[in-house]
Amino acid sequence: MNLPLNTSANTSDPVAQARYNMIEQQIRPWNVLDADVLELLSVVRREDFVPAAYRSLAFADIEVPLLGNDAEEAVRQGHSMLQPRVEARILQDLRVQPTDRVLEIGAGSGYMAALLAHRAERVVSLEINPTLASMARENLRNAGIQNAEVRQGDGARDAVPDGPFDVIVLSGSVAQVPQNLLSLLRDGGRLGAIVGSEPVMRFTVTQREGARFETTSPWDTIAPRLVNFPEPSSFSF
């Protein structure tokens, strides 16, 4: 569905209408104004990356559960998709280019990897949960995406031999920017992560400039934790 911006969807197609509403009512008002990103959200079928039990929620402004029958527990465990507006804003702010090699931590259902693959040269996505890793591979294969590879692995602890990368995306939150991942950035590369602890988290972009790293934190949001990344000590004196 390639809709010109600010036009109406085909109201005879409820899926097309729901997708259009997601873009126009959730995503564009959240300062996602890049025409290429908005177009991509019309091309990549989000509903195909959502489990059948939750397909009616594919375009809702929520974290869609991916595993099990307990939706709240799935989200608490991080077995969920980020909200559509969060995914879109991340994609816009990291300025992914056609020659970029991208590393994603937290494949989930494969939807973010699919978006990234449409803009990048190659995507490697790590997913610690074996069921989600299989789901993401199948969804990407069914979508005909050939330049994204899903691997079962721990992005917090496992070595990634494919670096350096131009872009690293953390599809979940961490307490602090992971230093081990910054070392995988190419000069000029960008790492995007949702950093902090509830109730305050900020999307943070760290860009490598030679031996220096420059950081900006342009917007607030809340997202489930990625597992095994360090947490600050809870002790106080």
Q: pLDDT by residue (tens digit) across 173-186? A: 999 999 999 999 99
- Find the mean pLDDT for residues 106-118: 98
Q: pTM of the full predicted structure?
A: 0.92
The model's pLDDT over 214-228, given as tens digits with 9 standing for 90+, comes to 999 999 999 999 999
The model's pLDDT over 53-78, given as tens digits with 9 standing for 90+, comes to 999 999 999 999 999 888 889 988 88
Using left for φ > 0, alpha for ψ between -120 and 50, and beta otherwise, residue 159 falls in beta
SS3 content of the chain, % helix, strand, coil (to 5): 35, 25, 40
Task: For strands 185-197 and 165-174, give the pairing.
Answer: parallel
- B/e letters for 106-132, b = 16+ CB within 10 Å, e = fewer, are bbbbbbbbbbbbbbbebbbbbbbbeeb
How deeply is 52 buried, as exposed, middle or buried, from its count of CB atoms within 10 A (0-12, 13-18, 19+)?
Answer: exposed
What's residue 112's pLDDT? 98
Domain 14-220: state its class. Answer: alpha beta
Domain ranges of the chain: 14-220
Q: What angle do CA 36, 170, 203 make, to 5 degrees?
A: 75
- Find the mean pLDDT for residues 118-140: 98
CA 46 to chain centre: 12
Contact 20, 9 (CB under 8 A): yes
What's residue 235's pLDDT? 54
Lowest mean pLDDT among 67-81, 88-102, 203-217, 223-237: 223-237
Q: Look at residue 234 and tell me whether its pLDDT is greater than 70.
A: no
